[in-house]
Amino acid sequence: MNEVIEELCRRSGGVVTRRQALQMVPRWVLDDAVRAGRLRRVLPGVYVTTELIDDNRGGVSSIQLLAPRLRRRAVLAFADGRAAFSHTTALELWGLRRQAGDETLHLTVPFGAGMRSRAGLTVHHRRAFAVGPPQVVVRDEAPVTRLERALVESWPLLPAVDRPAPLIRAVNDRWTNAGRISAALDELPRLTDRAALRTLLAKLAAGCRSQLEIWGHDHVFVGGGMPDFQRQYPVRVDGGRTIYLDVYAERERVDFELDGAASHGSPAQREIDLRRDALLATVGIQVVRFAHRRLVTEPQQVRREILAILDGRRSR
C-alpha cells in the first residue's frame, strides 16, 4: 500500500476517509489500495485497513465486522462532525449497557442533515438538534447525546426484560434522577410503551433502587394494613455513618431488607450485613431480611409475616 496512505491509516487508528486520502495522493493510488485488498470501504467515503476487519463473521454489514471502538471511529468519520451517538449506542458510551456486535449503531443528526440509515447504522433526524452542548457531551472521545435523552430513546429498542436496568443503575449511581428522566420523556409524547416507563420512573422516585425492590413494591409491601413505607431512608448511627434502609416502617422502627439472589450469599457479605444490623439495633431499629427466593415465590406468606411483625412492634 502507498506509504502516504499507510501513514494516514496509522495516525487515524486504521480509518481513512476518501476526502483525506485525495488531499494527499492521486485518486488512482487510493483505488489501487482498495483493488489490492489493503483497504476496504465500510461506509460511503470511509475505508478501513483490511487486516483490522473480522471476516470470520457472516451475515452482518461491513461496519459490523469491526471491533466496537474501530466501528465507532469509522462512523464518526462518515458523520464528519454532523452527528452524535444516541439511543442504545449512547448507553454503551455512558457505560450502562454493552451493545452486541450484531446490533445497529445509532446516530442523531439535525433535521435535514442529509444523512440516511444503512445496514448496521440507524440515523435519527431531530428538529432543533445541535451537535454540541447542552444537547451533546463527549464520552470516550466521542460525541454522545445527554444521558436522560439516551435512556428514554433506548426504552422501546430494548427487550422488555432489559429495559429497567440502565435506568436503575443511572439513578443508583446518582448520574441523574427520576425527575430529570421524566422531563426528557415529556419531550417524546409518542414514545412506544411510554406508560410503562412512567410507571418505572414513579417507583424510582418513590425510592426503589433494584428490580427486587420494584417487585416488592408491586407485590408485597402494598395493600390492606401496610403503612406508608419509606424507601432508601437515611439513618445516622454511631460514628456519624449514614445507613440507607431498603423499606422502612418509621412508626414501628422496622427496616425490611430485600436481599438479592447473589449479592448477599457470600460469607463476607453476610458479615457486613450482621455488622450493619447491629449498628441499627443501637438506635432502636429492628432489621428483618427477606431473601430473593422467598419474595418472588412466597409473596403472600411474606406479607403476613410483615404485618405480624409490625403489629408486634405496635403492641410494645
Over residues 12-30, mean pLDDT: 91
pLDDT of 203 reads 92
Q: What angle do CA 287, 291, 294 make, to 5 degrees?
A: 120
Domain boundaries, the chain: 3-53, 72-205, 211-314
pLDDT of 164 reads 95
Sorted by sequence, the CB contacts under 8 Å of residue 62 that are 6+ apart come out as 40, 41, 42, 43, 53, 119, 120
Per-residue pLDDT band for 144 (boundaries 50, 70, 90) equals very high
Instruction: Please tell me the pTM assigned to this model.
Output: 0.83
Contact 145, 133 (CB under 8 A): no
User: In degrees to the nearest 10, what's the CA dihedral of 221, 226, 232, 237?
Assistant: -130
pLDDT in tens, 263-314: 545 788 888 889 999 999 999 999 999 988 899 899 999 999 999 999 999 8
The highest-confidence range among 2-16, 168-182, 212-226, by mean pLDDT, is 168-182
Helix (H, G, I), strand (E, B) or coil at 3: helix
Integer Cα distance of 97 and 154 in angstroms: 11
Per-residue pLDDT band for 2 (boundaries 50, 70, 90) equals confident
Beta bridge pairs of residue 49: 39
DSSP state of 267: H
End-to-end CA distance of the chain: 86
Pairing label, strands 136-139, 142-145: antiparallel
pLDDT of residue 65 exceeding 60, the answer is yes
Helix (H, G, I), strand (E, B) or coil at 48: strand
pLDDT of 1 reads 64
The per-residue b/e assignment along 253-273, b for 16 or more CB within 10 angstroms, e otherwise, is: ebbbbbbeeeebeeeeeeeee
211-314 fold: Endonuclease; Chain A (3.40.960)
Mean pLDDT over each residue of the chain, to the nearest integer:
92
Helix (H, G, I), strand (E, B) or coil at 41: strand
pLDDT in tens, 101-142: 889 999 999 998 889 999 999 999 999 999 999 999 999 999
